[in-house]
Copies of this chain bind each other. A is one copy, B any other.
């Protein structure tokens, strides 16, 4: 499979989010050419503003690692060997989380001009993040390679579909009583 096929798999997840009235972002994690974890944005359903597609996919892979009783070092090695595909540029939080987990390669669809953490607003991918209160160099969150523009038009089209319908969880304008 080529990169477009993996992004198409992420796009499927974004379409699933759209069908569930969620902001349509989807993500897959690929290891040795196989999609091993998926996630779609779930902020509305969970009422948790941090449940972005990347965080859902990450947690699904972590669950696999925990089920396999991997050590912390093995978990880090597994993440380092994976590629992550997401339909929209990771935000600052997601970019920092990916850095902490040691992902090395990220591909995204459209840019996130207002909130992007991989070049648009901040460059977390270049410098990496790091654990709270951890001053040990060996545990530093590292930077990662990040390439955008894969199926960007399709990603933007999904956002437009969502916002044309109206985000069901956005505050409503006041209407006069009839």
Residues of A within 8 A of B (CB): 23-25, 41, 43-44, 46-50, 52-54, 58, 62, 65-66, 70-73, 75-76, 86-94, 96-97, 100-102, 110, 112-115, 117, 122, 124, 129-136, 138-141, 155, 159, 163, 167, 169-171
A141 and B93 alpha carbons, distance in the complex (Å): 11
Assess whether B50 is in contact with A101, with CB atoms less than 8 Å apart: yes
A133 and B24 alpha carbons, distance in the complex (Å): 8
Assess whether A171 is in contact with B138, with CB atoms less than 8 Å apart: yes
Assess whether B97 is in contact with A93, with CB atoms less than 8 Å apart: yes
| B-side contacts of A131, CB under 8 Å | 23, 41, 43, 49, 52, 91, 115
By beta carbon, the residue of chain B nearest A91 is: B132
Assess whether A72 is in contact with B169, with CB atoms less than 8 Å apart: yes
| B-side contacts of A72, CB under 8 Å | 44, 47, 169
By beta carbon, the residue of chain B nearest A158 is: B133
A66 and B47 alpha carbons, distance in the complex (Å): 8
| B-side contacts of A102, CB under 8 Å | 49
A131 and B76 alpha carbons, distance in the complex (Å): 26
A171 and B136 alpha carbons, distance in the complex (Å): 11
Q: A93-B97, A141-B115 are in contact. Are A132 and B54 (CB under 8 A)?
A: yes
By beta carbon, the residue of chain B nearest A115 is: B130
By beta carbon, the residue of chain B nearest A50 is: B97
